[in-house]
Amino acid sequence: MHGKLDLDATVVARARELAARAGQPVVDLARSHTTVSVERAVLRLAGVQGADPDGIPWVNRLVDAVRSDVGLGHGVAVPVFHAMAASGVEDVTVLAQKAAAGSVRFALPEKKAELTAARRRARRAATAGLKMIDRRRSERDRLIKRYGDPKQRPWIYLIVATGDIYEDIPQAQAAARAGADVIAVIRSTGQSLLDYVPEGATREGFAGTYATQENFRLMRAALDETSKEVGRYVRLTNYASGLCMPEMATMAGLERLDMMLNDSMYGILFRDINPIRTFVDQRFSRQIHARAGIIINTGEDNYLTTADAVDAAHTVTVSQLLNEYFAHEAGLADWQLGLGHAFEINPEVPESFRLELAHALLARELFPDAPLKWMPPTKHMTGDVFRGNLLDGFFNLAGALTGQGILLVGMMTEAVVTPWLSDRDIALQNVRYVLNGAGNLHEDFVPGEFIRGRANQVLSEAIDLMERIVDDGLLNAIADGTFGIMKRPADRGKGLDGVAKQDADYYNPVTEGLE
C-alpha cells in the first residue's frame, strides 16, 4: 500500500475485515426490524403531507392508528392501501385525517387478491416518491454543470444557527458570497428527541433552527439564487439524526439537500437514543441518501469532546471503519462518505500539532476516496479570541497539509457567544489566507518517523479494539462505554417502544425499491 505513512496493506485489510465482522450482526438486526419513523418515511414518500391543528403531522397520526389496530410488524403500507380501497378514499392524507378522527379502521387483507392489490397500490405510490428524489438528484447534477463546483478542495463548510429560518437565509447567502462552499443549518436544541417532524417555516428555534421540509425548501431556493450569483453551486447541509432520522433523510432527498449529518452511533452516545432504534433508522436513512446522491457527515469528532483526543484516537478510527462498512452496505459510494475527525488535542500537550497531523493523515490514507470532514477545535477554546483565531489557523493548516475534503470553519468566539456575521467573516479570512498561502503544500509534506509511528500505533490500537468488539459484540461494546465513554445498553434509551420485529409477511415498498 503506497502512501506517506507506510501503512501495511495487510493490516489495513485486516481492519476492514474486522469492521465487517463487527457490523454484520447489527445489519442483520436492522434488516429484521422496523420502526415508527421508517414507516412514517414510507408514507411521506407515498404522499402524506401536513399536520393537525396541534402541529402533529398527519403521518404520525396515521402510523399510530395502524399500529393500534394491527401492529407495526407487517409494515404500514399494506394496511393503509387496503383501507383506502375498502373505504373508497383516494387521497392518503385524507385517509390519515379520517384515521385520526376514528372513522377508519385498519386490517390485513384476508384474500390473496386483496393483498396483491394493496401491495401494488403501495408500490405505485412509493415509487412516485422515489422518482421525485431521482428528479431532484438530476436537478443537482444539472445545476453543478451550469454553475460549477468550487475550484479548490477542501470545501469550506460554515454554520448558521439563528433559530429563525428567515434570519438564517440572509446569513447563509452572505456566507456563500464571502467564500463558503457548504452551508450547514444547525438544528434546534432538543429536536433530535422529538418523535415527529415539525411542520412549516419556523422562527423560534433554540440555538438552531427547526429542521422542517418547508425550511429545507426555503433555504435550498435561497442558495440556488446565490449559486447563480457567485458562479458556483453552494451546497446545503442539515441533520438526519435523532428519532426521525429516516424522515429527515426522505425530506432532504425531496428538497435537494446535498449533505446530511448521519452517524451510526451519535444519537446513541450523545442523545441516549436506543441503540436498536438508531441502527434500524440509520440503515434506512442511508439507503435514501444513497439514492438521493447526498454526502453523509459522520460524528467521530464528538467522541473527542468527552474522551481524550490522544488516548481515544483509536476509537475514532474504529468508528470511521464501522461507519464506512455500514455506509457501503446501505449503498453509499466512497464519494458520499464525509467521515469525521477533529482537531481536539489539548494544545498544551507537547508535539500536539504533530499528533494532530498523524491522526488526520491516517484518516486520509485509510479512506483515500472519501471527502473527509475535518472539524475545528472546540473543547480547548478558552474564550481568548486571539488565541482561538491562532488555533483555528493551525487547524486550517493541518487540513491543507493532509488533503482534507470538507473543512468546517472554526470560530474564534467558540465557547463565548453565538457567532456574529463579523465573526464569520474573520474566520473565513483565516481559512482563505491559509488555504491560498498553502496551496498544494500537501504534495510537499513528507512526514517523519514521529508522525508515521504515531499513525501506525493508532491503527494497531484500533485493530486490537475491533478484535475485542468482534468477540463481545458491538452492542455490548456500546453498552460498556467504548466510544466517547458513554454507556448505552441495548435495552434502554429513548425510542425503544417505537421498534418492532418484522413479521414473515412484512412489506415495505420503499425498501423494496432501494434494495
**pLDDT in the model for residue 387:** 95
What was the pLDDT predicted at 1? 47
339 or 161, which is more confident: 339
Mean pLDDT within 379-392: 93
| H-helix or E-strand spanning residue 373 | strand 373-375
How confident is the model over 227-236, as a mean pLDDT?
97
Q: What is the pLDDT, as a whole number, of residue 303?
A: 79
* DSSP element (H, E) containing 392: helix 385-401
Residue type, 432: R
Q: Is the peptide bond between 154 and the residue preceding it cis, with omega within 30 degrees of 0?
A: yes
320-354 burial, b at 16+ Cβ within 10 Å, e below that, comes to bbbbbbbbbbbbbeeebbbbbbbbbbebeeeebbe
Please identify which of the residues 266, 303, 325, 506 carries the catalytic annotation: 266
Q: 185: closest CA among 237, 261, 234?
A: 237
pLDDT band at 161 (very low <50, low <70, confident <90, very high): confident
Cβ–Cβ under 8 Å, residues 237 and 157? yes
* DSSP 3-state of 185: strand
Q: Report the C-alpha gap between 367 and 319 in whole angstroms.
A: 13
Cell numbers at 301, concatenated? 469528532
At 482, is the pLDDT very low, low, confident or very high (cuts 50, 70, 90)? confident
Do 257 and 213 touch, CB atoms closer than 8 A? no
| CB 166, CB 192: distance < 8 Å | no
> Per-residue DSSP letters for 74-114?
T-SHHHHHHHHHHHT---HHHHHHHHHTT-------SSHHH
**Count of Cβ atoms closer than 10 Å to residue 152 Cβ:** 14
Is the Cα torsion angle 332, 334, 338, 343 positive or negative in sign?
positive
- What torsion, rounded to 10 degrees, do the Cα atoms 91, 97, 102, 108 define? 40
Distance, CA of 35 to CA of 246 (rounded, Å): 9
* Mean predicted lDDT score pLDDT of the chain: 95
What pLDDT is stored for residue 420 in this prediction? 80
User: Which is the catalytic residue, given 258, 373, 423, 506?
Assistant: 373
Q: Which of 181, 281, 301, 392 is catalytic?
A: 301
What contacts 323, CB < 8 A, 6 or more positions away?
263, 264, 298, 300, 337, 339
The CA angle 349-414-186, to the nearest 5 degrees, is 125
Asked if residue 507 has pLDDT above 70, the reply is yes
Where are the domains positioned within the chain? 33-126, 153-451
Q: What would the pLDDT profile of 62-71 be if each residue is shown by its tens digit? A: 999 999 999 9
- Cβ neighbors of 504 (< 8 A, separation 6 or more) are none
Grid cell in block for residue 228? 447563480
Q: How far apart are CA 157 and CA 323, in angstroms?
A: 21
Three-state DSSP state, 50: coil
pLDDT in tens, 270-329: 899 999 999 999 999 999 999 999 999 998 888 787 889 999 999 999 999 999 999 999
| Interatomic CA distance for residues 475 and 473, integer angstroms | 6
Q: Which of 135-144, 454-463, 474-483 has the lowest mean pLDDT?
A: 474-483
Active-site residue, 373 included: yes
Task: Please say if 266 is a catalytic residue.
Answer: yes
Strands 155-160 and 182-185: parallel
Helices and strands, counts by H and E, the chain = 19, 11
Joined grid coordinates for residue 17: 475485515
Query: pLDDT-derived band of residue 2, with 50, 70 and 90 as boundaries?
Result: low
Q: What is the C-alpha separation between 196 and 202, in angstroms, rounded?
A: 15
* 410-413 long-range contacts, CB within 8 A, separation 24+: 410/343, 410/376, 410/377, 411/376, 412/385, 412/386, 412/388, 413/385, 413/388
Q: Is 91 left (phi over 0), alpha (psi -120 to 50) or beta?
A: beta
348-368, pLDDT tens digit by residue? 999 999 999 999 999 999 999
Query: Residue 370 has what DSSP assignment?
Result: S
Share of the chain above pLDDT 90, in %: 89
Q: Which residues pair with 235 in a beta bridge?
A: 182
Residue-level pLDDT at 304: 81
Phi, psi of 353 (to 5 degrees): -70, -40
* Helix, coil or strand: residue 116: helix
How would residue 153 be classed by pLDDT, with cut points 50, 70 and 90? confident
Q: Are strands 499-501 and 33-35 parallel, antiparallel or unpaired?
A: antiparallel
**Tens of pLDDT along 399-432?**
999 999 999 999 998 877 777 878 889 999 999 9
For residue 205, is pLDDT > 50? yes
340, 301 Cβ separation under 8 angstroms: yes
Question: What is the CATH code of the structural domain delimited by 153-451?
Answer: 3.20.20.440
Measured between alpha carbons, how far is 405 from 328 in angstroms, rounded to an integer? 19
